[in-house]
Amino acid sequence: MTILFGGLSAVIGMLGLNGLPAPYHPVFNNPRFSAVSRDRFFLCVEAADPQFDPAGTRQFLSAFNTVDIAEVPE
């Protein structure tokens, strides 16, 4: 029982500290998000850093021949 309780506590603690599960994120509202698991991948850059530069980030990502760059409001 000790090992079972310890293992379950570790898993629950890991999920809690990682903020999982995340049932909703604003990026899910993007229409292109539905193709993510089928034939594309999605990169989400969050702007929590005070030194974040939206124009510089857009220019940097455009250099990689991207299909779409969208800004998602919170």
In a domain, 6, yes or no: no
Q: Is the Cβ–Cβ distance between 35 and 41 less than 8 Å?
A: no
In a domain, 30, yes or no: yes
In a domain, 72, yes or no: yes
pTM: 0.58
In a domain, 14, yes or no: no
Contacts 24+ apart (CB under 8 A), 38-44: 40/67
In a domain, 31, yes or no: yes
Q: What backbone torsions phi and psi does residue 56 show, to the nearest 5 degrees?
A: -65, -40
In a domain, 11, yes or no: no
In a domain, 35, yes or no: yes
Q: What is the pLDDT along the chain (74 residues), one digit of tens a residue?
A: 999 999 999 999 999 999 888 788 888 888 888 878 777 788 888 888 888 899 999 999 999 988 889 888 87
State which residues form the domain around 53: 24-74
Could you give the number of structural domains in the chain?
Answer: 1
In a domain, 43, yes or no: yes
The CA distance from 14 to 8, in Å, is 10
